[in-house]
Structure 1
Amino acid sequence: MSSDGLSGPVWRGKRRGVMIVLSSPSGAGKTTLAKRLLSQNPDLVLSVSATTRKPRPGEVDGVDYHFLSEDEFKAKIEAGDFYEWAKVFDHYYGTLQDTVEDALNDGRDLVFDIDWQGARSLAAAAPDDVVRVFILPPSMAMLRQRLDKRAQDSDEVITGRMARAREEISHWHEYDYVIINDDFARALEKLDLVLHSERFKRIRHPWVEGFVEALMKEELPPRRS
């Protein structure tokens, strides 16, 4: 069976890729789910965003981010090169349209780890290609507990993340799918089902139109008497 979940003769054409957009409040498990989904689907790739912030130790240009100067980023905004972009904490972040479109046309699927604003912009720019999935925590108490266990942020930062969480969760209804991450293995299974079912959608198989036309014109051989 092929990566698109379909098997068949050589006449089958190339499937168009899908953009799986994941959003959640910080600590709900979105990034971990994305990494596991990528690890068990070798044909799925993580969309690499562009940013104006400086690379952190160990980060590689073109792998972790496309690192641009602010002038370069603004020039791309003016040229309409982004599907979506935003300024967050004095730095710009955005999704480059050409790299995404090349992947989709080549039949590759991409996963996006972005917030609700970026998800909304992507869905508006490419409604037929985008599938939005919102990851919910089982409770706000569990969300706070997960942030505390990270031991990466101060109490002040965690309090701020919890305050933003309610705003982010309020946009859950804008998404195509909602997964409650109360059990990681079950949440991952549901996310994998979303990916594979979306690959089957008619709109992602433009070759079928030509196949059906040929099918309808096909002349049957005479029946044997």
Structure 2
Amino acid sequence: MQGLDFSVVTPYLGLLWMGVWWTIVLTVTSSILSFFSGILFAVAVLYAPAVIAYPVRFFMWLFMGTPLLLQLFLIYFGLVQIGIDIPALGAGIIGLGLHFAVYNADILRAGITAVDPGQSEGARSIGFGRWQTLRYVVIPQAVRNTAPPIGNNMIALLKESSLVSVIGIAELVHAAQLAISETFRPFEFYITAAALYYILNLVLEAGLRQVEKKVEVSR
């Protein structure tokens, strides 16, 4: 019976660090997309005409009710059949971003409706229009109030980024799988990948805590 031998990991550290880099790229870009798309979806559901609001509601319902893995397959393998060829990295970013955008939208929608109506009335009284009130008064307060759950979604996104390995993106899990295919030592590489994910998670949590502290100070 073979014992554990983590020395086999050393020659593949460069490959694993490249996987960490692409995991960070995926997480950051997808988080940005999910945040701003979430704001747009929330505003559309609450304030857009029915011809826009109902399709957005349907889109959110569809993405909440289907697995992320299936969504990635449809974006990467499905869209090409109708002439839309998206590179793997773009498909991964879009899939992750939209999947978490609908959850951010649900959180932000609740945050927007929770803002004191007096804030909007005060903004309108000094000459702000409806969209100016949303942009400068309501949405910033909603974002501040919902920062912790949105941060939790970012942490979940980091973990779920491992699923994009199925469409060939060389993130951390994909890098570990490449190393395993050459060494036939799955346990050592999966444990190493898990440790690296844990470190990334700790760094992200520390960053989010700093953001939340600044948000609390700015209230």
**TM-score (normalised: structure 2):** 0.27
Q: Determine which structure has the larger strand proportion and give its number.
A: 1
Q: Determine which structure has the larger helix proportion and give its number.
A: 2
